[in-house]
Amino acid sequence: MSLRFFARLSPLGAIALLLATVGIGMTLLKAMRYEVPLLPELTTSVWTVEARIGFRGDGGASKVEFLLPPRVSMQRVIDENFVSRGYGLAILETDGRPRKATWTLRRTPTSEQALYYQVRVLGGSVVTDSSVPPFPPVPDYKEPLASAIQSVLSQARAQSADVFSFTEQTLLILADTDDENVKVIRNVQDRPSWEHLVAEILAGARIPTRIAYGLPLERPLVETQLIPWLEVHNGDDWQGYDTATGEPGYPPGFFIWRYDDADLLRTREVRNVQLSFSTTQTSVPQMEVAELTGAAFAAQPFGIDLTRLPVSVQNLYHVVLMLPLGALVVAFMRVVVGVPTFGTFMPILIALAFRETQLLWGLALFLTLVFVGLSLRLALAQLRLLLVPRLAAILVVVVCLMLAITVLSFRLGVEQGLSIALFPMVILAMTIERMSIVWEERGFGETAKETLGSLLVAVCGYYVMNEPHLDHLMFYFPELLLVVLAATLLLGAYSGYRLTELFRFGALSRGR
Amino acid sequence: MTEPDKQDLTSRRRNGWLGRWQALRGNGVLGINARNRRYVMRWNVRSKYPLVDDKLTTKRLALEAGLAVPDLYGAVRFQGELIHLDELLAGPDSFVIKPAHGSGGDGVLVVTDRRRGLFIKGDGRALTLRDIEFFVSNILSGVHSLGGIPDVAMIEYRVRPSRLFDAISYRGVPDIRLLIFRGIPVMAMVRLPTRASDGKANLHQGAVGVGIALDTGVTGHGVVRDHVIDEHPDFGTPLAGHAIPDWEALLGIGARCADLTGLGYCGVDLVLDEDRGPMMLEVNARPGLAIQIANQCGLEERLKAVEALIQVPTDVSERIALARALDAEARPSEVGAAPLSGGSGAAAAATSPPQKARRVLLPKVPAKP
């Protein structure tokens, strides 16, 4: 069935199909694989994580050092922001170490001070540092803790096969608070957190562990602290564990700020230091995220990435890439609908001008220019000038008219009148010349018909070229040009009736 | 399916655009896109276009082949030659100036007489030599040619229209358009100037196109601005039923013109001069489609029949016989029975009898308005 369909395709149909398939395929791949949004208004939810460092100075020089999230967590960050009015800020980066922000001030007021650091984080999967740790030494436990731990570990060892299942079993046993050994273990209170104690127990089995401090991005939190989370390494990967239940995994959207007990905050010459974190969820356009991360375009093995070009060139391409669509509109209107126009591509150039002037103003200005230009051209006819000088004269007249309209509208305070300079002057001059000849030879009716046809096509072209969705698609997926090409090829092979012919040949449409 | 059923179905489908589309398809009407893609592009070699785009070349080819064309009095190629224009125009009292690359009858100036140093145009207006210089200079700048390329102005013999057309033609020269496909005439019409067309035989400007039965050379319906008419818009004289004289010869000239230009699909424009008989005016590589309306018949069927021929006879008379057979075959119902089947009853009554009588076109007293 499908084979027969392909066999029946003409070479042109096959080429068009191929082009369209490649174009759409690349577009979809880009959209799915690299998450470039197909629609400009698609949004994604982004978390803003804010660290607030509050303190009081003592009138002298102060210094606050704050550890920023590790490089691996920064992969999820689309941008960061430091809010520190009046403070000197330096960001130190040492090889392999997380960055450190240092705020300094010569005379710190004694009033309440606050420094903020904000990151915008994408929701979604947790990323953690993948460095391979050494095997920890077996800690030196004190009795009765040592025997309790030994018994828990041997029990877990009997019920497990590898590092991860061993960890799970250990955590399950530790969750059973009725167990005598567990009671002994839970009595120990001098560790910073339960996670630290579990890490110490696992070290007894020489299992590498670390504590990741971070924030769950599930619901907005205010004035909270980083929570510790256990991570276990099995020789290949790190795996987070919920020490309360023994479940592998992380809290939803866990954003890791630091590992183990590195100092998060170090201050000098300040008092009453408080550090707290808040999270809040906002929705931002996907496009912004894709542009901010650059990730959407960075890793493309193929295709055209226009976002890396200088901005002025990008702006140019926003326009240039719409031109093929305009040409497609013209081809469609002429071949399928059969609208008469002045010149082939005059309508799209006019439509491009409309993009800048806005439609109604554009129409008004265009008609004014053409009307006055045409009157002057018909007056020039009396002088019997040669063709090319006559065209040049019309061009001068058109420019004079533009100047007049611009100056007049500026005096009147009508901003839109200024944009008239965007009309393609040479095209206008030639249009006026052709109009006057059509007028002289075929009369007013034909001139009006072709003018209205040109304007109709220009307005259609304007609506197509001014469509933000199409602009977005063409700019971020220039591969779609192949689809446009396929469509024009098919239009070129169209041998059916033009819609206007249905009326033209109306006399022949009676049945026999 | 029985006949009434079918008719019922088509009449029901006739409403709406899709219905019109299907009706046109059913009647084998050729659209512009189909003409360009299937016939013009396929059968006309691009390299032959200059032969017909430049009327001077066409004229030379026709002369070499021994075909009658209007005499060329002179050609102006450069603006500088304009100072000698008076010498070029010194010859006959009446002449025609036209661009060698013009299309659709644009930019043609007909001077019928001269009086006290002034040139009298076809419509009676007088022109000075300077007017004509300006006109020629416009032609040279390429105002009338496609794409505005510099052009050549031709000054040639003005055709005196055969008196036979006086009753159905306003002022100018009616011309006969033959549509030739692979050297075989497939359809014909005569274009009659009207007051609206300013005496020009140009359909775009409002001239009447009147279909001609290829088989008999007898005129049928007319078309003006894509509407079917049966009477001349200026005189009210019936358009149908006039037999074109020398029909066989005209078909022969058409077929030979197509041969010498080498175009597979072309339109040949012929005129009947009162003194010199049939003459070739020009050949068109993209002939218009209004000929279908004038003939009340789609082109597609005939073109397909000719396209299906494996070998086209080289002998002109054989080809003409073939064309006549095709025509008789293609519309037996229209020529034989009633030319306006399904059309208005009054028109059918007015035009059907002469089809058999083959009334010979005679100079008649024009109906005075």
Over residues A341-365, the pLDDT tens digits come to: 887 778 888 888 888 778 888 888 8
State the sign of the Cα–Cα–Cα–Cα dihedral B358, B359, B362, B368: negative
Specify the 3-state DSSP secondary structure of B271: strand
Q: What is the pLDDT of residue A3?
A: 63
pLDDT, tens only, B238-297: 888 888 888 888 999 999 988 888 899 999 999 988 888 899 988 988 888 889 988 888
Which of the two residues, B103 and A456, has the higher pLDDT score?
A: A456
Which band of pLDDT confidence, cut at 50, 70 and 90, is reported for residue A98? confident
**pTM to 2 decimal places:** 0.68
Reduce the DSSP state of residue B150 to 3 states and report it. Answer: coil
Q: Tell me how far the alpha carbon of residue B38 is from its chain's centroid.
A: 22
pLDDT in tens, A249-273: 888 889 998 887 667 888 888 888 8
Is there a domain that residue B10 lies in? no
Find the CB nearest A387 among B7, B29, B138.
B138
User: How far apart are the C-alpha atoms of B283 and B267, rounded to whole Å?
Assistant: 6
B244: which residues sit within 8 A by CB, 6+ positions away? B176, B190, B212, B217, B218, B219, B250, B272, B361
Q: Quick one: average pLDDT of B79-93? A: 85
SS3 A320: helix
Q: What is the pLDDT of residues A374-412, one digit of tens each?
A: 888 888 877 877 777 888 888 888 888 888 888 888 888
Of B138, B157, B176, the one marking the end of a domain is B157
Question: CA-CA distances (angstroms) from residue A506 to A510, B9, B290, B291?
Answer: 8, 18, 12, 14
Please name which of A5, A11, A6, A2 lies closest in space to residue A493, comparing C-alpha atoms.
A11
How many angstroms separate the CA atoms of A456 and A406, rounded? 25
Inter-chain CB proximity B31 and A495 less than 8 Å: yes
At B331 the pLDDT is 59
The minimum CA-CA distance between A390 and chain B, rounded to whole Å, is 11
Pick the residue with more confidence: B40 or B354?
Answer: B40
Do A495 and B34 make contact, defined as CB atoms within 8 angstroms?
A: yes
- In this structure, the strands spanning B118-121 and B109-115 are antiparallel
Contact A128, A72 (CB under 8 A): yes
Give the range of the structural domain holding residue B134, as residue numbers without chain letter: 70-157
Tell me, yes or no, whether B170 and B271 share the same domain. Answer: yes
Percent of residues, chain B, with pLDDT higher than 90? 15
Q: CA of B113 to nearest chain A CA: how many angstroms apart?
A: 23
B199 and B80 co-located in one domain: no
pLDDT at A168 over 50: yes
- Whether residue A60 has pLDDT greater than 60: yes
Mark yes or no for CB contact B293/A507 under 8 Å.
yes
pLDDT band at B196 (very low <50, low <70, confident <90, very high): confident
Show me where the domains of chain A are located: 314-478
Contact list in A for residue B226 (CB cut-off 8 A) is: 504-507
**Running DSSP on this structure, what letter comes out for residue B208?**
E
Please count the residue pairs, one from chain A and one from chain B, whose beta carbons lie less than 8 angstroms apart: 101
* Residue B333, pLDDT above cutoff 60: no
Residues B258/B52, Cβ–Cβ less than 8 Å? no
Instruction: Look at residue A508 in the predicted model and tell me its pLDDT.
Output: 80
Instruction: Tell me whether 0.85 is exceeded by the ipTM.
Output: no
Q: Indicate the residue of B79, B130, B298 with minimum beta-carbon distance to A508.
A: B298
Q: d(Cα A289, Cα B26) in Å, to the nearest integer?
A: 57
Q: Smallest Cα–Cα separation from A427: which of A360, A363, A352?
A: A352
Q: What pLDDT, in 10s, does the model give residues B123-159? A: 788 889 888 988 898 888 877 766 567 889 999 999 8
Whether A505 and B38 lie within 8 Å, measured CB to CB:
no
Q: Is residue B368 part of a domain?
A: no
DSSP, residue by residue, A405-435: HHHHHHHHT-GGGGGGGGS-HHHHHHHHHHH
Q: Which residues of A408-427 are buried (b: 16+ CB within 10 A; e: fewer)?
A: ebeeeeeeebebbebbebeb
- Non-local (6+) Cβ contacts of B170 within 8 A are B192, B193, B194, B195, B197, B199, B232, B234, B235
Question: Does B78 lie in the same domain as B178?
Answer: no
For chain B, percent helix, then strand, then coil, each to nearest 5? 40, 20, 35
- The Cα A79–Cα A93 span in angstroms is 17
Whether B49 is in a domain gets the answer: no
Residue A310 CA to residue A168 CA, distance in Å, equals: 53
* A144 cis-preceded (ω within 30 degrees of 0): yes
Element (H, E) at A92: strand A88-92
Exposure of A128 in the CB half-sphere (CA atoms within 13 A) = 24
B151 shares its domain with B205: no
Check pLDDT > 70 for residue A99. Answer: yes
Residue B101 maps to which CATH number? 3.30.1490
Provide the edge-to-edge strand list for the sheet that holds A100-105: A88-92, A100-105, A62-67, A265-268
pLDDT in the model for residue A292: 65
Between CA A419 and CA A426 the distance in angstroms is: 16
What's the pLDDT score for residue A135?
84
Average pLDDT score over residue span A182-186: 82
Position A95, amino acid: D
Q: Is residue B295 part of a domain?
A: yes
Nearest Cβ partner of A511 from B7, B37, B293? B7
CB of A383 within 8 Å of a chain B CB? The answer is no
* Domain count within chain B: 2
Q: How confident is the model at residue B210 (pLDDT cuts 50, 70, 90)?
A: very high
Please report which confidence band the pLDDT of residue A330 belongs to, taking 50, 70 and 90 as the band edges. very high
Task: Give the pLDDT band of residue A299 (cuts 50, 70, 90).
Answer: very low
CB-based contact B264:B283 (threshold 8 Å): no
In this structure, are B95 and B215 located in the same domain? no
Same domain, yes or no: B89 and B176: no
The residues, ordered by sequence, that sit 6+ positions from A177 with a Cβ below 8 Å of its Cβ are A183, A186
Q: Which amino acid is it at B283?
A: V
The region that residue A453 occupies, defined by phi over 0 for left and psi between -120 and 50 for alpha, beta otherwise, is alpha
Q: Looking at B139, B157, B175, which one is the last position of a domain?
A: B157
**Residue A468: CB atoms within 10 Å:** 10
pLDDT of residue B155: 92
Residue B216 has pLDDT above 70, yes or no: yes
| A354 vs B192: CA distance, rounded Å | 44
**Both B85 and B167 in a single domain?**
no
- Cα atoms in the Cβ-side hemisphere of radius 13 Å centred on B78: 2
Residue A10 at interface with chain B, using a CB cutoff of 8 Å = no
Please check the confidence at residue B170 and state whether its pLDDT lies above 50: yes
Q: Which of A303-317, A365-379, A402-416 has the lowest mean pLDDT?
A: A303-317
Strand partners, A280: A48
User: Are B121 and B198 found together in one domain?
Assistant: no
pLDDT reading at A366 higher than 90: no
Evaluate if residue B207 carries a pLDDT over 90: no
Task: Write the CATH number for B195.
Answer: 3.30.470.20
pLDDT at residue B147 in the model: 59
Q: How much is the pLDDT for A2?
A: 59
Asked which of B130, B157, B184 is the last residue of a domain, the reply is B157
Q: How confident is the model at residue B22 (pLDDT cuts 50, 70, 90)?
A: confident
- Longest alpha-carbon distance in chain A: 118
